[in-house]
Amino acid sequence: GSPALLGVREWWLQRPAAPLNTGDPQPPWPVRVSKSRRHGATVVASLEGVTDRNQAEPLRGCTVWVSRAAFPATENDEYYWVDLIGCTVYGTEAGERVLLGVVDHVMDNGVHAILRVQRQRVDSGGVPQPMLDSRGMQVETLIPFVAAHVHTVDLTNRRLETDWPADF
């Protein structure tokens, strides 16, 4: 969803990074939103100072940012995806709670959210280390973000607990 976009009147826009490192990325800049509404799976908005299609076209492809302070409060068992990113995920192995990794992305499959977890394991010194495959690439696990699998969300301690198996 996009309740934060619809509820605020100041957005920050940032153009996509230039191809082939041809320059530093431009910093985001603020724009005032006159009105906004849902349009299917997207949001359509009128911006102050943008009065026709020719002025709007250069804004195509920009990333839209909204201050976290402007987000509406969540209900119980509701979470903003941005708050889940960076949380440590614990699963199970032989009935024991074990580290699975860290959420680095949340996506939607049309039915529910999915957590992409960058796998980690604890080394002999007790320090989490990235789990790599035979090619040296970071191993990741996709976990459905549904109550049947993720039963504890502790944003204060940045911790998620799941029944997802460590060997999946």
Q: Which residues of the chain have pLDDT under 50?
A: none
Q: Residue type at 142?
A: L
What does the alpha-carbon distance between residue 82 and residue 119 come to, in Å, rounded to a whole number? 19
The pLDDT assigned to 113 comes to 93
> Of 100, 130, 127, 125, which Cα lies nearest the Cα of 115?
100
The pLDDT assigned to 146 comes to 94
The pLDDT assigned to 3 comes to 62
The pLDDT assigned to 101 comes to 96
pTM of the model: 0.72
What does the alpha-carbon distance between residue 66 and residue 84 come to, in Å, rounded to a whole number? 17
Residue 93, CA atoms < 13 Å, CB-side half-sphere? 8
The pLDDT assigned to 84 comes to 96
What does the alpha-carbon distance between residue 85 and residue 110 come to, in Å, rounded to a whole number? 19
